Structure 1
Amino acid sequence: MTTVVNKTAHEFDKQRLEALLSRRFFYAPAFEIYGGVAGLYDYGPPGSALQANIINEWRRHFIIEEGMHELDTTIMTPAPVFETSGHVARFADWMVKDTKTGDVLRADHLVKNVLEARLKGDLEARGQAAAPAKVDEKAKKKKKEVATTVKQLPDETVAEYEKILAQLDNYSGPDLGQLCRTHDLRNPDTGNEVGEPQLFNLMFASSIGPTGQHPGFLRPETAQGHFLNFSRLLEFNNNRIPFASAQIGRSFRNEISPRAGLLRVREFTMAEIEHFVDPLDKRHPRFKEVRDIKLGFLSATVQAEGKTNLSFITIGEAVDQQIVANETLGYFVARIYLFLVKIGIDPKRLRFRQHMANEMAHYATDCWDAEIHNSTGWTECVGCADRAAYDLTVHSNRTGHPLVVRQALSEPIITEREVPEFDKKAIGKTFGKDTGTVQKVVAELCQEDLVALKEALAKDEAQISRPDGSKIHIPSSVLKIERKTIKQNIREFTPNVIEPSFGLGRILYMLLEHNYWSRAQDVERGVLSFPPLVAPTKCLVVPLSAREEFEPLTAEVSSKLRKAGVFSRVDDSSVSIGKRYARNDELGTPFGVTIDFASLKNRTITLRERDTTDQLIGSVDEVIEVVTELVLGSLTWEGASKRLAKYEGVQDVE
């Protein structure tokens, strides 16, 4: 950790941040010299290193700490997998078209952007109304320029807009279309009306094989690879649950209108966990470790009331009050919070929002999004869902492969129930090719239906329905149903799944916004205050000049830092030391060591901290030891200041 400083009184300036990110090549539009493609980005050296460090910490925080099983499954996926999972039918967003230009917009984003712009205009108009009468000419000119967009709204309209925005994710396609008509919501780029919302599937279709005989898709998530390998994972885990598998990899979504940089892209890196748990016992053995962590919750109930008020309660209270469905879901919500704060997300700008009924994924029984506030508003960066037994069940039904847990019982369970028994010879003669259908339908009947069928068999009036709805008469000579005492030594069940799913590109961008600031004395001098844990470069080595006599000590310091596991860079360019440090502050480098003429004689070097610009001095080995501990997080800057002397700006050269 570094010293907390009063960074600046300047407001956040997104344009300056974006200029810095472009200039220092954190990321850039892909295929830029060909004109680029919306929603595709390349990461440069600092962006790649930042992402790699986020991933490394994610692996430590979740995979290593929780003892998870790591997977790496294929991106290309045969179509039947996503047909079975429901993605082909349901993985879609609502889009609208500009009626004149044909431009395509995502319907919910159109509603959000237009209403938020109107509310912003209302605030500005109210501010102007309250402003002093005397304004300079520039202000008058500016006021005239924005007069067409700045408009004070009636109080009831403001309240209605705020209510719509609070429950925006709960609207269906027809609902969004009605909102566009009722409130005259148009394409903000052209002012044109838009058509009725239409569903657009977000998956990239492809084909497998030279003739395209096997249709497929690029995966929109990594989850299906976990479910299809469940049997192998269970065996690897000695046939015991609970256990979790984890995967970091690329996913693809054909976004309708990607316009928000890294926040909405078509190719991105995900980190996903599938925690398999007994449906009858969703407690978590480590829940007590996190139960007192206080979080900001925005429940579905509050959103349905058109409000966005947060409840700040502990995760223990949230689970006890059934706001969060169960301990395991709650445990991962808390662990998500701890991870995001550890890597540099501002906890005051982090909330957990519950999915509303229409928004809930087809597979989920409860879901909470970790949303992070940024210059565009609140953005989902992590989803944490209870997927119940949906995925394993549908894949098992489609393939016939049992994706279940067979658990030996310490004490047998003795029950009485109705048991159907077919006469094997009679059923084949009676039903022929329908034999399998009859057996399957009867086998799937519940106890209540079996009792009714037993009574009908006694009257020779027994009928069952085929999957197409047609009836089949079953004679009593073919089927008997008897009540038997069953002794059960093995319990067989389909586990439920708790899934935390991370969009790493979005998290990376949030880190950039949350950690960007500028020096109070120089607004153009940007700084990225990354925690050392994720900073792309940990330490800058700055020789006073590129003169030959500095090379041996510079090489020694660099070598010792590398051997200590500290990623460092040497900057021996001809610009001043101040400028060299300033441009590395832009890269988020937390520490720097300076080698000057006194260093050559005394073997002492100075250590600079990025945010405060404070400097300490010590021997080469002392400073390297301190830097190593600072980077590992085992030492704070305050602690370092007690181990090394404060540098006053001059070293003796004797």
Structure 2
Amino acid sequence: MSEEGDYDLAELAKRRGFFLQSAGAYGGVSGFYTFGPQGASLKDNIENVWRERFTVREGNMEIDAPTVMPEPVFEASGHLDGFDDMLVECPECGESHRADHIVEDNTDYEEAEGLGPERVGEIIAEYELVCPNCGTGLAGQAIEDFNLMFETNIGPGSSSPGYLRPETAQGIFVEFPQLKEYARNQLPFGVTQIGRAYRNEISPRKSLLRVREFTQAELELFVDPEDGEGPDLASVADVVAPFYGVDQQEQDGGEPLELPVGEAHERGLVADPWIAYYLGVAAEWYESIGVDMDRFRFRQHLSGERAHYAADCWDAEAEVDGDWIELAGFAYRSDYDLSKHDEYSDEDYTVFRQYDEPVTVEQPTVDPDMSYLGPEFGGAAGDVADALEDLAAEDPDAFRDAAEDPEGDGTVTVEVGGDSHEVPVEQTGFAVEEVTESGEHILPHVVEPSLGIDRALYTVLDHCYREDEIDGEERTFLELPAAVAPTTVGVFPLMDRDGLGERAREVAADLRERGLSVAYDDSGAIGRRYRRQDEVGTPFCVTVDYATIGEARDEDEGEPGTVTVRERDTTAQRRLPIDELPETLEALRDGDLAFDEL
């Protein structure tokens, strides 16, 4: 969209109540937005359509976790040490900026975040980049890591630090020990959550596209990494989407490949079947809410972008205002998250995998002689015993080799607190026993589709923005799908007299009782009322006229007891019996009936 178009969309969003910067009465604060009546409804509808597709239809569970969580959660997850952006400060005006954004905005580098601070600093110097605020050169300025989490205290004082969650996923991961019980320990199972997340962005920008408070919709699917069944890939195999893989990105002038999801997986472009499945589901879902699929693509993360624990990662991206923005991420996170919480917490994050048949295995064990370890190692004796147990599980041959080596001293060595301790094998009680096992405990792997609701909303507004001319008059309208439009139907009296207003209000009330979102308007000329509803994306309007109340003034006004139903995009109109109105509007909203079928 052009800069003029972008201005018109931002102006429309504020004027018609989609979104506006928060706390404007106090000067506003960057990175925070209030959704107005139209925006809140559109946002709720997008969330509900996501919930229906990713939770209900997939048979997943949904939870709602707190937005504030204690510090140990983020210590385990790695957010305390690794959730940083690159900050550069202007030496003249003191304004802080994202160093990678300055590079991306002023050079041909599209994904500077993955280059690292040192290389970004070199590019700033090479291109002689300047502060966007005052124009002062930034070459040579230190680029520092800035942690994006908002810190708070839980309770009085500072003894219990906490953080506003930077993602909703950790609220699912920390509750896994209980969630697996709800799922009867049967893999795979999925858990979804829609909720607010917070990131203290260095330089919020581009309206809703980079903010400090936003809504995420995430699915964490827990799978057995050795389960060969996988998803029902056939159900989305024929969904065609643009795949912008690593090879295409690294080619000069490389373009995305338009492929069916099934073929993209068969080629190995999307290696993991679960990732391929959710890319197919997401492509259909984005199209259903109004995203222009000619301005949409799936982009594979380059090696420098991908998290160290992610085997593969793809982003859903859309072109907005001339830039490609990330809408969602699809990552195979392996067992990283659960293993961290299993290590740091006192809970068990494993799931028991039942074997098809019991198996007999050799199990190394130790039974250290504490009457020897106590006098020999004093207060460290218990830790030495634990270390011997770990060594037997990890490297039982160390005990065998020490006992059988004629030239050795017959000891094994363990590390405790950075110190090495030698223990005679005969004092360890090492033995190998045959045991019959019916299964084993495993750490599930995680497949994660994670979507930003705010960015989806902004993209839908941008992609559905239309301008045309009706009867010689310019018209602005939003071609929103009926399923997500803030209002389903506008109800108008032809004029507010002769009982038309009272009957129109009755019609509006009846439709609301049926669960339809209704706007009633009797102000101004009927054409202007249509335009107001067009501008906020209302797909249908109903006009109550004299034929509705059985007082048609001429034979062309319609049958008694009928209303006029108008469709937004074509402005076509049909007469409909008033007693058929609720069912017809429901069918039109749900996609079970097309307007031209009336």
Residue 420 of structure 2 corresponds to residue 471 of structure 1 = yes
1:276/1:110 CA distance change after superposition, 3 Å:
same
Q: Deviations over 1:535-563 (max 9, x none)?
A: 00000001012225113421331133123
SS in 2 for 1:535: coil
The equivalent position to 2:296 in structure 1, one of 320, 340, 350, is: 350
Corresponding residue of 1:31: 23
1:410 deviates by 2.2
How far off is 1:445 after superposition? Answer: 3.9
1:175 to 102, 119, 126: 119
Answer 1 or 2: higher relative contact order, Cα 8 Å, separation at least 6: 1
1: CA distance between counterparts of 2:563 and 2:502?
14
- The gaps in structure 1 that reach 5 residues or longer are 1-8, 116-160, 641-654
Identity of aligned residues (%): 38
The amino acid of 2:156's aligned partner reads P
Q: Indicate yes or no: 2:454 matched with 1:496.
A: no
Q: Deviations over 1:13-64 (max 9, x none)?
A: 1111111111112111100010000000101000000001011111111111
CA distance in structure 2 between the partners assigned to 1:66 and 1:49 by the alignment? 24
Other structure's SS at 2:355 match: strand
Deviations 1:236-287 (A, max 9, x none): 1112111001111111000010011000000111111110000112642422
Q: Which residue of 1 aligns with 2:586?
A: 628
Which residue of the partner structure matches residue 556 of structure 2? none
For residue 572 of structure 1, give the secondary structure of its aligned residue in structure 2: coil
Match of 1:215 among 142, 152, 161: 161
| Match 2:513 to one of 563, 574, 580 | 563
Alignment of 1:449-488 (within 5 A): 449-458=395-404, 459-466=408-415, 468-488=417-437
Q: In structure 2, how many angstroms separate the alpha carbons of the residues matched to 1:283 and 1:446? A: 34
Runs of 5+ consecutive residues of structure 2 not aligned to the other structure: 551-559
Match of 2:547, SS state, is: helix
Give the number of aligned pairs: 583
* 1:314 counterpart residue number: 260
**1:330 aligns to 2:276 (yes or no):** yes
2:392–2:399 CA contact under 8 A, matched in 1 = no
Map of 1:193 onto structure 2: 137
Partner SS state of residue 506, structure 2: helix
Find the aligned partners of 1:191 and 1:251 in 2 and give their Cα distance. Answer: 33
**Contact 1:352/1:371 (8 A) holds in 2:** yes
Indicate whether 1:580 and 2:529 are aligned.
yes
Task: Letter of the 1:114 partner, please give it.
Answer: N
Question: Residue 43 of structure 1 corresponds to which residue in structure 2?
Answer: 35
**Does structure 1 retain, via aligned residues, the 8 Å contact 2:17–2:35?**
yes
Letter in 2 for 1:254: N
- On the 8 A contact 1:454/1:480 being kept in 2, the answer is no
The code of the aligned residue for 1:350 comes to F
Using the alignment, how far apart are the partners of 2:198 and 2:252 within structure 1? 33
1:283 and 1:327 in contact (8 A); partners too:
no
Secondary structure of 2:279's partner?
helix
| Counterpart residue type for residue 100 of structure 1 | E
Contact 1:426 1:477 in 2 (8 A): no
Q: Answer whether contact 1:274 1:498 (CA < 8 A) is retained.
A: yes
* Superposition deviation, residue 376 in structure 1: 4.4
The answer to whether residue 478 in structure 2 is matched with residue 528 in structure 1 is: yes
Question: Shift in Å at residue 310 of structure 1?
Answer: 0.9
1:226 offset after TM fit, Å? 0.9
Contact 2:475-2:531 within 8 A present in 1 as well: yes
- The corresponding residue for 2:328 is 382
Kindly indicate whether the alpha-carbon contact (under 8 Å) linking 2:103 and 2:124 is maintained by their aligned counterparts in 1.
Answer: yes
Q: 1:377-413 CA deviation, whole Å, 9 max, x = no partner?
A: 1111111111111111111111232110012222023
| Partner amino acid, structure 1, of 2:459 | M
Counterpart residue number, 2:90:
98
Asked if the contact 1:273–1:501 (Cα under 8 Å) also holds between the matched residues in 2, the reply is: yes
Equivalent residue for 1:645?
A: none
In 1, the alpha carbon distance for the partners of 2:284 and 2:568 equals 24
TM-score (norm 1): 0.85
Structure 2 length-normalised TM? 0.93
Q: Deviations over 1:283-320 (max 9, x none)?
A: 42422211222221122343345655212222222323
Q: Rate the CA distance shift 1:310–1:393 in 2: closer, same or farther, 3 A.
A: same
Match of 1:85 in 2: 77
* Code of the aligned partner of 2:395: D
Contact 2:365 2:392 survives alignment (8 Å):
no
Q: Is the 8 A contact 2:402 2:425 kept in 1?
A: no
1:428: how far off? 4.1
Alignment of 1:545-556 (within 5 A): 545-547=495-497, 549-556=499-506
Task: Pick which of 286-295 and 75-84 moved more.
Answer: 286-295
Taking only aligned residues, the RMSD between alpha carbons, in angstroms, comes to: 2.2
Q: 2:344 is matched with which residue?
A: 398
- 8 Å CA contact 1:173, 1:198 repeated in 2: yes
Flag the 1:366–1:568 CA change in 2: closer, same or farther, 3 A: same
